[in-house]
Amino acid sequence: MRGAVLDGKRISQEIQDELRPRIAVLTAKKRAPALAVVRVGDDPASQIYVRNKIKACHDLGIRSIEFTPRGDITTSELLEALEPLRTDDSVDGILVQMPLPRQIDADAVTRRIVDAARDVDGFGVHSLGSLVLNEPAPRACTPAGILQLLKRYQIPIAGRHAVVVGRSNIVGKPMALLLLHENATVTICHSKTSDLAEECKRADILIAAMGRAAAITASYIKPGAVVVDVGMNRITDPDTVRALFAHDAARLAAFEKNGSVLVGDVEPRAMQELSSYYTPVPGGVGPLTIAMLMANTVEIAETRLGC
C-alpha cells in the first residue's frame, strides 16, 4: 500500500478561486475587504508567514495593512499604538501574528485589539465558544482548512474514529470540535497520554499537531488510515535527515543545497507507505491555513458590509 497525496496547494487554490467573485461583488458594491496584520519585531518565521499572507491578499484584491512595531515595545506602548486600528471601521479582520516578544502580554493585546466581530484568526473567546456550540463565527484557519481538505477529497468523516495528537487552542482543540460536529468519534491525545502509539493506531483519521519532528512512526499508524500532518519542523542534523529521507533523493538533494529540510510530526516514509491518504510536508496543510484566512476575511466583510 502507498497512500495518495492530499494536495493542499490545489485545494487552497480552489478555495481562493471561489473567493474571487465574492471579492469582486464587495469591491463593486461597497469596497474591497480589508485585513490588518500586526507583526512585532523581526522574528524570521513570522516575517515569512506575514509576507505570504500579504501576498495572498494582493493576489485576491483584498486590501492589506501591515503594522510592524519595534521588537522592544512594551505592552502599554503597543496598545496605544494600535488604538487607531481598533477603532478603524474600514478594517474587516485583524490578525496579531504570534509569537509576540516575551515582554508583551499577548492576551491583553488580542483581547483589546481583536474584537469578536473581526477575529479573523478564530482564536478569540467568542469564536471558540461559538465553535463549541456549533454556531456561526470565524473558525481557526488551520483546522478549518483541514476539514475542507477532507471534504473536498470526499473522505468519510461521520462514524469514523479520529485521533488528534495535540491540544492547543490554535489547532488541536478546534480540530477535535470540528470533527465532532461532523459526527466523528474523537480522541484527543497529548503529552500525558498513556500509550500514545496504541491510541493513534486506532485512528481512521489521524491528525498530528504536536510540534515534534517525525515523532509519529510506523507503530502509531493503522494501515489504511488517513494521516494529516500539521507539523512543520526544520532539521539540520545530517544523520537525522539521512535516516528520515533515505528513500527520497529529491529531499536529500535539497538538504545538501540548503543545509536544512522541513519534516512534519509524522515519519515521512511510514506515513506514505501505511496511509490511504496523507498530507505532504511542505505542501499539505500550510497553504490551506492562508486560504481559510482569506475566506474568513471575506466572510467577515460580507457580514459587516451587508453584502
Catalytic residue check, 13: no
- 178-184 mean pLDDT: 98
pLDDT digits (tens, 9 = 90+) for 182-192: 999 999 999 89
- 186-204 mean pLDDT: 96
**Cα-Cα-Cα-Cα dihedral sign, residues 13, 15, 21, 22:** negative
pTM metric for this prediction: 0.94
- 22-31 mean pLDDT: 97
Domains of the chain, residue spans: 31-118, 141-284
- 218-237 mean pLDDT: 96
Residue 44 above 90 pLDDT? no
CATH of 31-118, one of 1.10.3720.10, 3.30.70.20, 3.40.50.10860, 3.40.47.10: 3.40.50.10860
Catalytic residue among 7, 119, 121, 229: 121
Give the CATH H-level superfamily of domain 141-284.
NAD(P)-binding Rossmann-like Domain (3.40.50.720)
Angstrom distance (rounded) from CA 14 to CA 152: 10
Catalytic residue among 7, 16, 92, 97: 97
Catalytic residue check, 121: yes
Classify residue 101 by its DSSP letter: P
Confidence class for position 43, pLDDT limits 50, 70, 90: confident
**Cα dist. 196→168, 187, 190, 210, 214 in Å?**
17, 11, 8, 12, 14
Catalytic residue check, 201: no
